[in-house]
A and B are shown apart, each in its own frame.
Chain A
Amino acid sequence: MLSSARPRGYVWRRALIVVGMTYVILGGFLLPFPRVDNILGQTHRNLFFHVPMWFTLMAAMGVSAFWAFKYLRTRDPLADVRSVEAARVGLLFGVLGLLTGMMWARFTWYQGTGKWWNNDPKQAMAAVQMLIYAAYFVLRSAFDDETRRARIAAAYNLFAVTTVPFLLYVLPRQMASLHPGAEGNPAFSEITHPLMRAVLYPSFLCFIGLFWLLYTQRVRLAWVQRRLHPDPLAL
């Protein structure tokens, strides 16, 4: 059972994440990385923000599906709250990742073509994932009864997970990717300078940490609101 008191060690974990994010933002924008004289220019700095956002989306998907599974097993209302909030925060990171990716692609890969949306499998995968979460929230709003809503939403959440391996199999066979590591493209580690990795790897941890901060805060907020307003329609 979740208490409204602050969990132990929360303050220093939050401080660590704030300091880490500050380092990532300052380092990502200011450190003198070797300049690559091709179409990238200075845009490679987007790497420190765009890529961790995707990792966070994937982590959030996993967390949301895990708590959906726990909900069906235990019928604990807190598991449902966790599943929803992970999906909500994950959706936020997904939209940000999609926007940063679109900007980046528009001014590098598609420079001069004026294209904002293109046939990239990773982009398509993300778009489908956003659509599934949007449908998940629409489905939730269609139920007034709280336990039924939680049960049905958890079942849809897990049912939607079935698509993921198939999308990973089908999409790369239908569209060519320009992302690193795709067929014929150099792997990620071959094209990044050691100095860049010194920012990128902490950035992964910090973005996951930021997700954890927002997610736990939202869960506690939702849980407190639930106890203040037992009326299911007030949530």
Chain B
Amino acid sequence: MTWWRSAWAVLEKDLRLEWRSRLAFNTMLVFALATVLLVWFALGTQPVVPSVQAALLWVVLLFAAALGLGRAFVQEEERGTLLFLRLNAAPLGVYVGKLLFNAALVLVLGGVACVAYVIVLGVQVEWIGLFVLVLTLGALGLAAATTLLAALIARASHSGALLPVLLFPLLVPLLLSGVRLTRHALEGGLGWSGTTDGLVTLTTYPLALVAASVLLFDYVWYD
């Protein structure tokens, strides 16, 4: 099978399995919604400046993603289907399929969580276009960073707590640019020219991570 067909098959299989149980998605969603409510309780009625709003939103998203995205390969290990996948699909196809699945998962999660965050905390978004663009790119970056790490920890003991530890240091460039651009989107009044640096990082960093993952995935995949 060529790699794009295996990628499509892996994506279809994962979406179908996820649709049946909705375990990863529901975990991440409930976690994100609960955290949004906790942030609201913790802040009380105090007005919060946009920089803090942007930072809290990203922290909620990062933790929710770190909780659910590690499932991609762990579930193959738990169900004992890892060997089957290794025999039947091209490694690149497996990686791309899992990447697309994670991207779909985190995009939907991010969308729902952001809407809840904006409504519950009464956040004013001045520049909706940039807000949506930044969070979409951020979600894709999260998927790019987690997919290879999920494959790394698939056979580790205590894999649940391991993913955030491995993931967070690698997310620093994404977080720095993402929070800053989200703040611009909340405040508004700044043209595209002020966003170039951040957008360059938000687009090229996921691409670099995917390139590194593709190069390294063969070594991770085969024993």
A: which residues have CB within 8 A of B?
72, 124, 128, 131-132, 134-135, 138-139, 142-144, 147-148, 151-152, 154-156, 158-163, 165-167, 169-171, 173-174
Q: Contact: A128 with B216, CB < 8 Å?
A: no
Q: Considering the chains assembled together, what is the distance between the CA atoms of A144 and B155 in angstroms?
A: 10
Shortest distance between the CB of B69 and any CB in chain A (Å): 15
Q: Considering the chains assembled together, what is the distance between the CA atoms of A154 and B153 in angstroms?
A: 13
B23 in contact (CB, < 8 A): no
Interface residues of B in 146-172 (CB under 8 A from A): 148-149, 152-153, 155-159, 162, 165-166, 168-170, 172
Interface of A is mostly: helix
Cross-chain pair count, CB within 8 angstroms: 89
Q: Contact: B176 with A148, CB < 8 Å?
A: no
Minimum CB distance partner of A129 in chain B? B169
Q: Considering the chains assembled together, what is the distance between the CA atoms of A165 and B84 in angstroms?
A: 38
Shortest distance between the CB of A209 and any CB in chain B (Å): 29
Q: Contact: B157 with A174, CB < 8 Å?
A: no
Contacts of B158 in A (CB 8 A): 142
Shortest distance between the CB of B150 and any CB in chain A (Å): 12
Minimum CB distance partner of A175 in chain B? B176
Chain A CB count within 10 A is highest, among B153, B156, B223, for: B156
Q: Contact: A163 with B170, CB < 8 Å?
A: yes
Can you report 8 A-B residue pairs in the complex whose CB atoms are below 8 A from each other?
Answer: A143-B157, A148-B155, A151-B219, A151-B223, A156-B166, A159-B149, A159-B216, A174-B180
With contacts A158-B216, A171-B176 known, is A139 near B156, CB below 8 A? yes
Shortest distance between the CB of B196 and any CB in chain A (Å): 10
Chain A CB count within 10 A is highest, among B172, B176, B216, for: B172
Q: Contact: A155 with B219, CB < 8 Å?
A: yes
Shortest distance between the CB of B17 and any CB in chain A (Å): 25
B220 in contact (CB, < 8 A): yes
B212 in contact (CB, < 8 A): yes
Shortest distance between the CB of A235 and any CB in chain B (Å): 16
Contacts of A173 in B (CB 8 A): 197
Assuming A138-B162, A167-B172, A170-B173, what are 5 further A-B pairs, CB within 8 angstroms? Answer: A131-B168, A142-B159, A147-B223, A152-B156, A166-B208
Minimum CB distance partner of A133 in chain B? B169
Q: Contact: B219 with A139, CB < 8 Å?
A: no
Q: Contact: B165 with A138, CB < 8 Å?
A: yes
B201 in contact (CB, < 8 A): yes
Q: Considering the chains assembled together, what is the distance between the CA atoms of A68 and B158 in angstroms?
A: 24
Q: Contact: B170 with A159, CB < 8 Å?
A: yes
Shortest distance between the CB of B24 and any CB in chain A (Å): 21
B177 in contact (CB, < 8 A): yes
Minimum CB distance partner of B175 in chain A? A170
B209 in contact (CB, < 8 A): yes
With contacts A135-B165, A155-B216 known, is A144 near B157, CB below 8 A? yes
Shortest distance between the CB of A123 and any CB in chain B (Å): 13
Contacts of A124 in B (CB 8 A): 172
With contacts A162-B212, A170-B176 known, is A156 near B152, CB below 8 A? yes
Chain B CB count within 10 A is highest, among A151, A156, A160, A163, for: A163
Q: Considering the chains assembled together, what is the distance between the CA atoms of A143 and B168 in angstroms?
A: 20
B213 in contact (CB, < 8 A): yes
Q: Contact: A166 with B173, CB < 8 Å?
A: yes
Give the top 7 A-B pairs by smallest Cβ distance, nearest first.
A142-B156, A166-B173, A131-B169, A132-B169, A162-B212, A155-B216, A72-B219
